Amino acid sequence: MFQLSSDITIGNFHFSGVHEVKIKRSIHSYVDTAIIKLPAKAQVSKNGKVLSESVITGKQFTDGDPVTIKLGYNGVLKEEFKGFVISRDLDVPLQVICEGYSYKLKRNNLDDTWENITVADLLQKATDGLGITVICDVNITLVNLDQNCDTGADIIDSILKETDGNLCIFFIAPTVLWCGLVYTPYAKGNDVFNMGQSRYRLGYNVLKDNSLKQRVPQDDPGIWIYTKKKINGTLLTGQSTDIPGATKRNTQTLNRIADDTTLALLAQEHQYRDNYTGYEGSLNAFLQPYCSPGFQAWISDDNYPERNGFYLVEGTEVTFGTSGARRKIDEGPLLMSTATSTASQ
């Protein structure tokens, strides 16, 4: 029999029970969030003894207090979230709104402009002194970046804007910030994260109310073209791979990109992002097996075995509480199918 277990710490207080926890994470956002619903009043235990008088829960901690959430079954717990309190809704039950280490990025004040700087160096400046490790999987230089980067979060928002959202920047672990391309390596059968694997069998350890839909490249895929005009008037161009029969040509200007090689790299990523084979939507599973954004999820379907394969986990939403525990998983591109796996043996 499976019994839900939790270990939740807010500031100096440890909670043995909660009404509900909801945690959201995604490869498409560097902001991890958690909402903890607690009783408005609680009994406090000190040195193993429960004090006679209850206390108002919301007054026992303050905004900025550290938060750790561990969840599981039968006392076997896995850390699902680590971050900080950002606000408290004093309704009944009490809602504690939490944010991951993006909380620190938003409070890392900066005031600078950069004529020529790599994305990796920018991320180091964004995280300087915060205890955050940066893994940057791309070599991209931005020029004349002056976008009112007042905080570390502003730097990341600028990077995403100037690369047209083609980079993924997210916390692959609570204090590890990852930056790189995702759809290009997946299109080539490469797992850039190497985080782990989880397995799901539709109709077995996956609930029926899932919204997974098989995704195939568009019938009329487009070609992406990025351009940049240099000060001397020279026009740089980077284009994604030509697709036979493609009639749509999508052109956009990215003037902060330093060279045409990077323009082509980003154009190819955009094309793969728009035209990948895999799934879209989400599946609803139990709390275990554990998985998080960046994992590979093996999905098997007895009715459609040709769809079996490893897919990228793009996002997760964990709910835990008095009504049970679930993990909603957003799926993305196919890394390897049963057919590919068999052919490679």
Kindly state whether residue 186 falls inside one of the protein's structural domains: no
Residue 196 to residue 82: CA distance in whole angstroms: 19
* 30 plus 76 within the same structural domain: yes
Kindly state whether residue 73 falls inside one of the protein's structural domains: yes
Residue 70 to residue 79: CA distance in whole angstroms: 4
User: How does pLDDT run across 266-321, given as a tens digit for each residue?
Assistant: 999 999 998 898 988 899 999 999 999 999 999 998 888 888 999 999 999 999 99
Does 24 have pLDDT greater than 50? yes
Kindly state whether residue 321 falls inside one of the protein's structural domains: yes
* 93 plus 233 within the same structural domain: no
Structurally, how many domains does the chain consist of?
4
Q: What is the mean pLDDT of the chain?
A: 88
Domain boundary among 46, 69, 100: 100
Kindly state whether residue 228 falls inside one of the protein's structural domains: yes
Residue 319 to residue 23: CA distance in whole angstroms: 7
* 10 plus 96 within the same structural domain: yes
* 42 plus 78 within the same structural domain: yes
Kindly state whether residue 153 falls inside one of the protein's structural domains: yes
Q: What is the DSSP letter of 129?
A: T
Mean predicted confidence (pLDDT) in 100-127? 92
Report which of 92, 253, 250 is spatially closest to residue 161, judged by C-alpha positions. 253
Q: What does the block give as tokens for 341?
A: 């796996």
Is the whole model's pTM more than 0.85, yes or no? yes
User: How does pLDDT run across 176-188, given as a tens digit for each residue?
Assistant: 999 999 999 999 9
CA distance readout (Å), 281 to 75, 134, 171: 32, 29, 22
Does 339 have pLDDT greater than 50? no
Does 1 have pLDDT greater than 80? no
Residue 128 to residue 243: CA distance in whole angstroms: 43
User: What is residue 269's three-state secondary structure?
Assistant: helix
* 142 plus 261 within the same structural domain: no
Is 88 in contact with 114 (CB distance < 8 Å)? no
Whole-number pLDDT of residue 345: 33
CATH number, residue 93: 2.30.300.10
* 284 plus 335 within the same structural domain: yes
* 90 plus 11 within the same structural domain: yes
Kindly state whether residue 293 falls inside one of the protein's structural domains: yes
- CA-based radius of gyration for the chain: 23
* 121 plus 140 within the same structural domain: yes
Domain boundary among 235, 259, 274: 274
Q: Within 13 Å, how many C-alpha atoms sit on residue 28's CB side?
A: 13
* 145 plus 240 within the same structural domain: no
User: How does pLDDT run across 122-143, given as a tens digit for each residue?
Assistant: 999 999 999 999 999 999 999 9
Whole-number pLDDT of residue 342: 38
Residue with tokens 């098989």: 214
Is 171 in contact with 30 (CB distance < 8 Å)? yes
* 62 plus 23 within the same structural domain: yes
Q: What does the block give as tokens for 325?
A: 């525990």
Is 92 in contact with 40 (CB distance < 8 Å)? yes
Mean predicted confidence (pLDDT) in 212-223? 79
Kindly state whether residue 331 falls inside one of the protein's structural domains: yes
* 167 plus 293 within the same structural domain: no
Is 168 in contact with 179 (CB distance < 8 Å)? yes
Residue 312: which domain range? 192-214+280-343
Is 293 in contact with 29 (CB distance < 8 Å)? no
Sign of the CA dihedral with 318 first, then 184, 195, and 126 last: negative
* 20 plus 155 within the same structural domain: no
Kindly state whether residue 304 falls inside one of the protein's structural domains: yes
Residue with tokens 């902001």: 31
